Structure 1
Amino acid sequence: MAGFRFSVSRYGIVPLPAARRTAMKWRARGVAATSALLAVAALLPAGPAVAQSGISTEAVAAPAQPDTVLLPTAERVDREVWHKSDGGRLAVRNVTRATLTLFRPAEPRTRAAVIIAPGGAFLGLEMDKEGWLIARWFASHGVTALVLKYRTLPTPPDQKVFVAELDKMIAGQPSVLAPPADTPPAALADGLAALRYVRGHAAELGIDAKRVGFMGFSAGGFLTRSVIEHGGADKPDFAAPIYPNMGPMQVPADAPPMFVAIAADDFLLARQQGLPLLESYRAAGRSIEFHLFSKGGHGFAAAAAGSPEEGWLDLMLRWMRTQGLLAARGDK
């Protein structure tokens, strides 16, 4: 990459002048969804089984997923393609059968539960980095966690073809990949189905049906906003969009308390004048807590030790406690 200048675009880091072409193409499409996958892709070294994007060109077998239930929105045909993504972690695309995977908390258990939606620009899902890893952290802190594998937009079935098209998109060339402007209807339906499932099984999960939260990363943050805006009676009791769309939001009069975390050098912030998401929530008179970290880029997930965003999960847990969400079993 020596000799190249780079620019942060809506979907990643691309060489100039390709970045300018990419920005023009995506602006014309109204593209808004983003992905940690694409944000880091152009920075990863190429190798014999890894393309320019940093994603493996080989598909892998689906991992064992114990304590997983199929949601009623699931389609009949399973088209999933699993592969290695950022740092060799597992990711999936072409999801057609929405599921919830349960991570049971250690004792003493609280009565709260959180549904976790990984990111991936609605083209795929970072199941390991932004799903299972986060769920295990919450479970180790006494919170029931459920990772939502929601339906994604169709992409080429062949992994090599998919990576080639992704590389084209990163380079600003014509590509069959077209991330959506906002949460697709299928993903929204899966998010709401997940909320209904968790509340409907609150007794067997040992949780309070009135303490069910929803959090998501990047595109999962878009989905988190959407289940609030369009959820009606099914909307979550608390929400945490992490490095989400920071644009204005239609905030319901009874919107739940919200926790937001993002890094100051996240390219999503460059798309906005001010902080419209926060301003929307405040204008509606609803509770919001916001953390802006000095660095971290897009896609910091659980955050590395020693990074500016280190410990944000502890901040969220403290926020949950101050919101009265962490009462132990047996408490009212």
Structure 2
Amino acid sequence: MLIVRALLLLGSLVLAMLPFATATAAPPTWHPPQGATELPLWPDGKVKAPPKLKGPEQISETISKASGEHWLMLQNVAVPTLTLFPAQGAANGTAVMVVPGGGYNVLAMDLEGSEICDWLTAQGITCALLKYRVPASGPNWNHDCNCRDIPSVPMALQDAQRAMGLLRAQAARWGIDPQRVGVIGFSAGGHVVAGLSTHARRSYSPVDAADAQPSRPDFAMVMYSGHLWAGHGKGLSLVKDIVVDDTVPPTFIAQATDDRTDDVRESLAYYQALIDAGVPVEMHLFARGGHAFGLRLKDAPVAAWPHLAQRWMQDIGMLPKPGP
């Protein structure tokens, strides 16, 4: 009887402690898929975390208001990383860095990240997924995050420039051609891509030999970007932090005209500026697809974009052309 009472008391204590244990457990965070390798982006102590973080890094499933899709939302990234996905089958030497969107507030790590890498690696491309600092890491972030008092430091651009230098510095390790390194970005990530393409100089002081490598991509894909168009009453003018010249790499642009998150004039403004500067550019606008479609919409016109992007990469010599 005494033993039974003791066990009942012990069970009561365990049950009483469960809410506390659950409340204090570390929140889930993002981990690279099997076969991928995650690398630190900066040497220890060389990068500062964004101020005013709301809590520890954590990931959760959410539903897009624009598309209704379920996606993994990563929040409070203080330590940026670069995750390498090896090419499937025979690598062709091309690499593409993927920059997910999220309004400079969060990161869409599967919808605009790992799923894009799966598509790229199936084409023999080595993929690098950028986990950059959020929130408020861009010059024109989503003010819904209540971060107006955070200084306008282009942390996302810094992380992207650093990542491009690392890819080229470690090209031999990953079996890639340092002159065939491209980038694709979605929504806010598209703005990061435009920043990479138009800023030849680093936005930070060099920290090691990787920063001696060029940070501009050899080709760029800008997908339903925000923060490019200067706004109503200004024609198709670009925002002041995007300045286009003839050194911008060949660019592919895609967006749906029914996008209610980012006006289609974001893409039109960037396209017109590239045309004016003599930059090779291909743009596709689709009647239906909304925002944040990634690779998932199979029954909408926008579903054609991956094939068109693949054909474009073949045309500019970054992918081998199919045989006869």
Decide: shared fold, TM above 0.5.
yes
Return 5+ residue gaps in structure 2 as ranges.
Answer: 1-24, 64-68, 202-213, 230-237
2:39 to 41, 65, 69: 69
Q: How far does residue 64 in structure 1 lie from its aligned partner after superposition? A: 2.9
8 Å Cα contact 2:262-2:291 kept in structure 1: no
1:188 equivalenced with 2:165 (yes/no): no
Q: Which stretch of structure 1 is more off in the superposition, 82-91 or 140-149?
A: 82-91
1:219 to 180, 188, 213: 188
Q: Structure 2: how far apart are the matches of 1:259 and 1:179? A: 35
2:217 to 203, 214, 236: 236
Q: Deviations over 1:43-70 (max 9, x none)?
A: xxxxxxxxxxxxxxx9951243241001
Partner of 1:115: 97
1:138 equivalenced with 2:90 (yes/no): no
Q: Structure 2: how far apart are the matches of 1:254 and 1:122? A: 26
8 Å Cα contact 1:212-1:238 kept in structure 2: yes
1:206 equivalenced with 2:175 (yes/no): yes
Question: Does the C-alpha gap of structure 1 residues 195 and 270 become closer, same or farther in structure 2, counting only changes over 3 Å?
Answer: closer
Structure having the higher Rg: 2
8 Å Cα contact 2:27-2:56 kept in structure 1: no
Question: Does the C-alpha gap of structure 1 residues 270 and 140 become closer, same or farther in structure 2, counting only changes over 3 Å?
Answer: closer
Partner of 2:131: 149
Return 5+ residue gaps in structure 1 as ranges.
Answer: 1-57, 156-165, 170-174
1:262 equivalenced with 2:251 (yes/no): no
AA partner of residue 200 (structure 1): A
Question: Does the C-alpha gap of structure 1 residues 210 and 85 become closer, same or farther in structure 2, counting only changes over 3 Å?
Answer: same
2:109 to 116, 123, 127: 127
Partner of 1:41: none
Q: Structure 2: how far apart are the matches of 1:241 and 1:315? A: 13
AA partner of residue 307 (structure 2): D
TM-score for both structures, normalised by structure 2? 0.71
Question: Does the C-alpha gap of structure 1 residues 267 and 89 become closer, same or farther in structure 2, counting only changes over 3 Å?
Answer: closer
8 Å Cα contact 1:122-1:179 kept in structure 2: no
Partner of 1:309: 302
Q: Structure 2: how far apart are the matches of 1:184 and 1:198? A: 23
Q: Structure 1: how far apart are the matches of 2:287 and 2:149? A: 28
Q: How does 1:261-280 map to 2 (within 5 A)?
A: 261-267=254-260, 270=263, 272=265, 275-280=268-273
Partner of 2:287: 294
Partner of 2:166: 197
AA partner of residue 159 (structure 2): D
Q: Which stretch of structure 1 is more off in the superposition, 303-312 or 313-322?
A: 303-312
Partner of 2:71: 89
Q: Deviations over 1:246-283 (max 9, x none)?
A: 52241132110000000011136647499221110000
8 Å Cα contact 1:192-1:231 kept in structure 2: no
RMSD, matched Cα? 3.0
Q: Structure 1: how far apart are the matches of 2:305 and 2:99? A: 17
Q: Deviations over 1:185-219 (max 9, x none)?
A: 11110000010010011111111100101111000
Q: Structure 1: how far apart are the matches of 2:188 and 2:108? A: 10
How many pairs does the alignment contain? 254
The percentage of aligned residue pairs carrying the same residue is 32
Q: Structure 2: how far apart are the matches of 1:265 and 1:291? A: 13
1:80 to 57, 63, 66: 57
TM-score for both structures, normalised by structure 1? 0.69
1:176 to 131, 146, 149: 146
